[in-house]
Structure 1
Amino acid sequence: MSRSARTVAAACTLPALTFAACGSDGGDELSAEDEQTLTVWAMGEEGKRLQDVADEFNQEYPSIQIDVTPVGWDQAHQKLVAAAAGGELPDMAQMGSTMMGEFIELGVLEPVDTSTFDQDDFFPAAWENNVVDGEVYGVPWYVDTRVLYYRTDLADEAGATHPPATWEELKELAIAYQENGSRFGISLPAGGEGAWQSLLPFLYSAGGTLVDDEGDPAFDSPEATKALEEYASYFSEGLTSTSVQPGQTVEQDFGSGDAPMFISGPWMVNNISEALPELEGKWAAVPLPADDAGSVSWVGGASLVTFTESRHKAAAQEFISFLTSPEKQADWYEISKSLPANMAAWEEEPLAGDPQLHVFEEQLATAGDVPAMPQWNEFAHEVDVAIERMANGGADAAQTAGELQAATEPLAE
């Protein structure tokens, strides 16, 4: 029995928490042609905008009414867990990439029909994020990834002739920025929630992984130690700040030139353009500098899932097919600025004609996934704490790797 199967079996025996999925086959299901209402939970800004798209779907499928409930990301996890415990889940939902493992483990997600949805249509890491024990539990909806933002004007002044393409060139440019008057060469998180997001590209580019093929933590590898050493060196060499001032943002430091490089996602394109119009033509977003495994980022975003207890699985499949088609993915980008998970959508306008998006398409093609881990939040917290120990306490990278391995092993059992 797999680890996920053992956990679901155990959950079904707990008298204090009864999941609707335990011992149920979903009842009498409806076909997509039957008159019905499909209930959908969507998160964040997507939740506010999805009903309009759902109404378009209803014009093509008049028998299927879509009822979208917007849910704030700050409430999404708690609301889903409570609904799973109380047997009150919707028919389908949007689910963040780092949440997939937990809900797969709970046994409340319906496996995806892979004869309907082809993994070759989607960025590989976005698809893999939904796979456990060879079974697929979600269809990628939108994606994000991390790239390097840098001030081209200050790079020119510092004598740089091209974007940094390797770790060595990244360090050289950070030093050159400082020598040319910048307070720091780059902005990197010194710990705190989400710091793992900036470390992960270093780990993947070094050839490391978060977990091995058996699902066990892999921080005791030479590649992980190398990545931790490289990341920590920016703090020990004074190239990035070891603390964050309250109220200070990466955009402010980028605009002032105090920190003319940082690693972030696609939303920063609009943030910089809107907050710092004076920087037009003075910055660029480029692929992350490479180590042994090349330029490797990671994929975040959200997938669309159907719950096992739904009587409307056929309707949910039609709606998911609609939302993940190339044409609708391109339309959704215009509405929400969420990057399409379907690779063919990048050939549609407005994506195909936007030169600022090419770097994200290139980075997504080689990006790694965040494994679908039931205890991801606890796992990520241990990585955040390890980064803080190195950044603020000068902890040795090899020792930190060993401590991180020991701290995360129980979370993968």
Structure 2
Amino acid sequence: MKVRTLSMVAALVAASLNVAKADTLRMECAPTGAGKEFCDYVKDRFETQTGHTLEFIEFPPSSDEKLGLFQQLFAARDGNAVDLFQADTVWVGLLDRHTLDLTEQVAELEADFFPGAWQNNIVNGRVKAVPAFLDSGALYYRQDLLEKYGEQPPASWEELTRIATRIQEGERAAGHRNFWGLVFQGKSYEGLTCNALEWVASHGGGDFVDSDGQVTIDNARAARALDMAAGWVGTIAPQGALGYMEEEARAVFQNGGALFMRNWPYAYVLAQADNSPVKGKVGVMPLPSGAEGESVAALGGWQWSVSAYSKNPEAAVALLKIVSDAEAQKKALQLVGVAPSRVALYEDPEVLAMAPYLAEFRDIFANARPRPATQTRGQYARVSNAIYNATYNVLSGRSSGEQAVADLQSRLERIKGKDWR
């Protein structure tokens, strides 16, 4: 009896210690609808597996407002504010010193994710985030029109230009006078940086700033890529494309006004919706390659990061692993519609049954290239501003590609100074 009593006492003491160690963690979550349903799913798993409690915190929907709030919270080193949050692809370098080093805890996960997305989250050799869901540039095309004119989807930008010219002329001659060969995001904003990266990198012109932080844009291939894009404006692309963002380009394409469109994956679902004039007529493929390069898509999407000020980093990492595992990514696709960041899910029968169109995106995501944000850290906003303004000057005829890349090289080196910070 005495031994049994001692055992019961020991068990009660152990239980009390476990309760004392239980923490309340806070995770970013959408407050309503499918987002909340996903978070409730995560909460149930996390609390069951760890014994900790999970609460949710809402952040502003605007990326700029959200980043500003993060910077305020992190400046105060507030350990109670948030443990796990989603960072935009271009924030990882900027928030480096405010996020937990995950290198040792997630080393075994690297092979499970698309390489471009994983590489985006490495700062100075350390893993600072895990991909949450993906986004990248893709080429949309009218399958029916390619078939009508006996053409195949273009493998190169040169082929795209030829096909777009031919079919644009044919459709206009048939009475569709406002038909265009190509639409893209040509406004002077972040979206143009993404387009410019795709054009330049696909020609073998580099990524503006390489992984070591060296500015590399002043080269002939990069100049040719920008000149190529400038040659589209007013010929196969409308002059108005210089004011297009994503939705303006989509509106033209989805209303039947263009043969090709560069856009993000979200446009596929909308183009195939029941009320879409081009439903059943749209194909999607990786972006074309340049004469001396390969197909390159700008990486978008969001990353899971752990606050460096979390009071229970071990539990926060456990939460990170739950929200980024295959089961959770399937649930996020089912409830929220976001594209998984794990490679194997693009061959998973359950995933393809939920979203058959994702089969078209595996190769697109495999070619995704990060913007030069991680290496330029807190100065990325200035870097991107310089890139899209220089590109816009070429598209609008104010500068040649050769002059633009030389000027951009000088400007980026001035922004860098002795080092990126």
**Who is 1:387 aligned against?**
391
Aligned to 2:84: 92
The letter of the residue matching 1:401 is: V
- The residue number in structure 1 matching 2:9 is none
**Gaps in structure 2 of 5+ consecutive residues:** 1-16, 173-177
Matching of residues 133-282 of structure 1 within 5 Å: 133-157=124-148, 159-180=149-170, 181=172, 182-193=178-189, 194-207=191-204, 208-235=206-233, 237=235, 239-242=237-240, 243-244=242-243, 249-274=248-273, 276-282=275-281
Amino acid across the alignment from 2:229: Y
Structure 2 CA distance for aligned equivalents of residues 378 and 279 of structure 1: 39
Alignment partner of 2:258: what SS? coil
With over 3 angstroms needed to count, the CA separation of the structure-2 counterparts of 1:280 and 1:230, relative to structure 1, is same
1:344-396 per-residue CA deviation (whole Å, 9 max, x = no partner) reads 22233432344421221111112222231322122111122112212223420
Q: Is the 2:165–2:236 Cα contact (8 Å) retained in structure 1?
A: no
Which residue number corresponds to residue 39 of structure 1? 26
CA 44–301 in structure 1, closer or farther in 2 if over 3 Å, else same: farther
Give the TM-score normalised by the residue count of structure 2: 0.83
**1:72 aligned residue (22, 45, 60):** 60
Distance 1:298 1:32 in 2: 47
Counting helix residues as a fraction of each chain, which structure ranks higher? 2
1:307 is the counterpart of 2:304:
no
Alignment-mate amino acid for residue 329 of structure 1: Q
Give how far 1:32 is off. Answer: 11
Separation in 2 of the partners of 1:345 and 1:33?
39
Q: Is the 8 A contact 1:145 1:363 kept in 2?
A: yes
- Looking at structure 2, the residues matched to 114 and 160 of structure 1 have their Cα atoms a distance apart, in angstroms, of 53
When the two structures are aligned, how many residues end up with a matched partner? 381
Aligned-partner residue type, residue 188 of structure 1: F
Distance in 2 between residues matched to 1:247 and 1:343, nearest whole Å: 26
Partner of 1:377: 381
- Structure 1 34/223 Cα, relative in aligned 2: closer, same or farther at 3 Å? farther
TM-score normalised per structure 1: 0.85
- CA deviation string 1:215-242 (max 9, x = no partner): 0222112232122122222126453334
**What is the Cα deviation at residue 128 of structure 1?**
0.8
Deviation at 1:49, TM superposition (A): 5.0
Work out whether residues 136 and 298 of structure 2, in 8 Å CA contact, stay in contact via their aligned partners in 1: yes
Asked whether the 8 Å contact 1:91–1:310 carries over to 2, the reply is yes
**In 1, Cα distance between the equivalents of 2:364 and 2:294?**
11
Equivalent position SS for 2:217 = coil
- After TM superposition, the structure 1 stretch with the greater mean CA deviation from structure 2, 278-287 or 49-58, is 49-58
SS in 2 for 1:165: coil
Quote the Cα distance in structure 1 between the aligned partners of 2:340 and 2:285. 19
Cα distance in 1 for residues equivalent to 2:130 and 2:18: 20
Q: Percent identity?
A: 23
Per-residue CA shift, 1:232-282, capped at 9, x if unaligned? 221264533344389972233113333232111111112222374332221
Structural RMSD (CA): 2.6
* Structure 1 residues without counterparts, runs of 5 or longer: 1-29
Three-state SS of the structure 2 residue aligned to 1:178 is helix
Q: For residues 196 and 48 of structure 1, do their structure 2 counterparts lie closer, same or farther at Cα, with a shift above 3 Å needed? A: farther
**Higher Rg of the two aligned structures:** 2
- State the match for 2:14 in structure 1: none
Output the CA distance in 2 between the equivalents of 1:398 and 1:351.
Answer: 46
Task: Output the CA distance in 1 between the equivalents of 2:105 and 2:82.
Answer: 24
Picking from 73, 79, 102, the partner of 2:94 is 102
Corresponding position of 2:42: 54
**2:10 aligned partner:** none
1:48 Cα shift? 4.6
Q: Of residues 108, 112, 132 in structure 1, which corresponds to 2:123?
A: 132
Give the match for residue 400 of structure 1. 404
Paired residue for 2:288?
Answer: 289
Partner-residue secondary structure (3-state), 1:38: strand
Deviation at 1:125, TM superposition (A): 0.8
